[in-house]
Amino acid sequence: MLIRAHNKKDANAQTLVGIAYMEGLKVPHDDVEAVKWFREASRLGQAIAQNNLGLMYHLGRGVHEDPVEAVKWFQVASASGYYRAQYNLAYMYFTGRGVEVNDAQAAKYAEIAALQGHADAQHLIGYMYQQGIGVRQDLVAAEKWYRKSAEQGNLKGMNRLGLLYAAEGRSAEDHAFAQSMFQKAADKGFAAAQTNLAALYMHGHCMKTDLVAAYAWLELAAKGGDAKGKRLLEQLKGKINRDQLNQATERAQSWEAAHPGG
């Protein structure tokens, strides 16, 4: 592979060598070396290399962090139709990193990437339709994109889809579906979903009120850094007794033991 990569015209081989150094695959991990190979391949128009070079500038890996340079490479790769670069460009426009915030451009590139099956892009464009950011508000479109994202296992998509179905005025069947979405994401360690699942247990939506289960999930969510989870945990502390608190802590510890690194 290295011999092929040294052939200045083999951009695909150069890209693969860059990825190997970036991820430490059969060679020592070396971001500087990865950048070198991505740059070589990028000059030959290799879109994956261009996107990866943008990521290296975005993250400050192997080069000084430079979001403006990152945007440049995402734009170049996007023009070739590479969906990962299109999502990355949407993210930069959405957050205003390396470029001025441009909601319309963010929505444009997010939807293009979403149509090609990018799960994070599907979540992002779903959120933009839900909130009416860069597009006309459309809850039907939001649900569609959240569902597509969730079907690919995207935890943010599962959580957002759950929130749509957990809204006030939805049916018991909808609330049960929301619970299933929160449960799936919570079991994967997604702190925001753990908080939302706990809220269902606290208020008895589609299930019997269970403050022990609620406290256990909030304890996990708080450890995961979820701010809402931390607030609800403090509120719940005064509503349960010592025995319930001990039961909840044991449940949380059992979950952590069954999900190491979760």
Q: What is the DSSP string of 182-198?
A: HHHHHHTT-HHHHHHHH
Predicted confidence at residue 168, as pLDDT, reads: 75
Cβ–Cβ under 8 Å, residues 129 and 148: no
Polymer length of the chain: 262
pLDDT (average), residues 171-190: 94
Whether residue 1 has pLDDT greater than 60: no
Give the pLDDT confidence of 148-164 residue by residue, as tens digits: 999 999 999 999 999 99
CA neighbor of 153 nearest in space, from 179, 184, 127, 125: 184
Predicted confidence at residue 262, as pLDDT, reads: 67
pLDDT (average), residues 93-104: 98
Whether residue 5 has pLDDT greater than 90: no
The letter for the amino acid at 72 is K
pLDDT (average), residues 133-141: 97
Whether residue 3 has pLDDT greater than 50: no
Helix, strand, coil percentages for the chain (3-state, nearest 5)? 75, 0, 25
pLDDT (average), residues 32-50: 97
Tell me the H-state helices in 132-261.
139-151, 155-165, 172-187, 191-203, 211-223, 227-237, 242-258
Please state, in angstroms and rounded to a whole number, the distance separating the CA atoms of residues 141 and 163. Answer: 15
Tell me the pLDDT of the chain averaged across its residues: 94
* Cα angle 160-146-155, degrees, rounded to a multiple of 5: 60
